Chains A and B, each alone.
Chain A
């Protein structure tokens, strides 16, 4: 059984300069309490791997606004002017990755694969400096695996052994990132006794989860 951490205890585990996977899509399925606590703790130099920059007040937005990031790795930054501004000023490094490639690079790291061969990006800027490998007569880009020191996960339910469920489109990157963080911290909306989550409903087995955040009192 876990000793659930307060959100402050959890973010204290994350040092300045760490690489952090943050789940969510336009802020849906993002662990918002951990984001707020990281911003409040004044973390600096973080590399964040996240699908999109959402909006200034959503998803990774508060971390950008609080200037916690050194590098952003994701697929879309169009709706967050803070990212555009910090990128233009040279304060924030941005690596844009096609969304399907991003999730597969994360998955590759999480499942022990040496990378991904994908047709996405061939003949575009994304292919610059990358190896093209031909398999059965078709060309593919070789994309390396992408791991992180921490994966911050937003779950719907968590039981006492850390089994997680997700809800609807708040699932998105969560189950994939839960495989790829060296330390996995789950922020569930509810914590339930073991047995409440049927085995078939578990999307992330508790064996992958290192820490669980206490629910809001």
Chain B
């Protein structure tokens, strides 16, 4: 996979996240990098994508001129629906999310800390987008993956000992996927379990503010794999 060394970072993250999606599951993808995950999944896998605004079985953007203004994703963009799709109201939609019916959510992040806690909804005094559905998703989904660029644009680590930004939930996320590494938060801290092709453990450590636990050789991400 030498060519993956030049792969667009967001594409690489999306592709690695896609390998975490199991067949016949209910999945919610956040806005931004997480949205790209579905591009790397086989439509025959039987995965149903849920969006907070009330669709189970969201499909790709329809051809130009074929969109319906009553059918959008949680970012307000036009989507289609796959065969077998259903639509629900917001209370039902969040019932699915909070009630433990959602197998996986992939979300963006501003910070993740050594406890595996995520902050992704506001930077006090700078930008306050609001939490939207993120707090419910992180609280209620069976599995939470954070998909984000490893460090901030100015190089400041986003993976830190303890979040300085307001938390999204007091729940340890299950996996962090960046363009440099795959990290699994556990009770004893953050385990570095894979590095991106061409990236060394030392480089990941240098770009990470929190301590990383390394056990033996750390394998490179396999970007050809799907579940």
Q: Which residues of A contact B (CB under 8 A)?
A: 25-29, 51-52, 54-55, 58, 74-79, 84, 87, 94, 96, 98-101, 103-104, 107, 118-126, 156, 166-176, 203
Contact = CB atoms under 8 A, between A and B. Distances in A.
Given A75-B133, A99-B132, A120 B68 contact: no
Given A26-B53, A52-B132, A99-B132, 18 more contacts: A25-B72, A58-B76, A74-B130, A77-B129, A78-B127, A99-B136, A104-B94, A121-B139, A123-B167, A124-B135, A156-B70, A168-B81, A169-B72, A171-B87, A171-B88, A172-B90, A173-B90, A176-B89
Contacts of A101: 135-136
Given A29-B70, A99-B132, A120-B135, A172 B89 contact: yes
B53 A25 contact: yes
Interface in B50-75: 51-55, 68-72, 74-75
Contact of A100 (B89, B94, B128): B94
Nearest to A126: B135
B151 to A, nearest CB: 22
B169 A169 contact: no
- Chain B at the A interface: mostly helix, strand, loop or mixed? loop
B168 interface: yes
Nearest to B58: A169
5 contacts: A76-B129, A78-B132, A118-B98, A121-B139, A167-B70
A175 B89 contact: yes
A124 B168 contact: yes
A100 B54 contact: no
B131 A119 contact: no
A126 B90 CA distance: 20
Contacts of A166: 89
Contacts of A168: 54-55, 68, 70-71, 81, 87
Contacts of A172: 53-54, 89-90, 93
Contact of A96 (B87, B94, B130, B168): B130
B72 to A, nearest CB: 5
Interface in B71-97: 71-72, 74-76, 81, 87-91, 93-94, 97
Contacts of A120: 98, 135-136, 139-140, 169
A26 B98 contact: no
Contacts of A174: 89
A173 B136 CA distance: 16
Interface string B184-196: 0000000000000
Interface string B112-150: 000000000000000111111111100110000000000
A99 B133 contact: yes
B53 A28 contact: yes
Of the listed residues A103, A122, A175, the one surrounded by the most CB atoms of chain B closer than 10 A to its CB is A103
B46 interface: no
B139 A99 contact: no
B131 A75 contact: yes
Of the listed residues A74, A156, A173, the one surrounded by the most CB atoms of chain B closer than 10 A to its CB is A173
Interface string B27-55: 00000000000000000000000011111
Contacts of B169: 120-124
A117 to B, nearest CB: 11
B133 A169 contact: no
Given A119-B98, A124-B166, A77 B91 contact: no
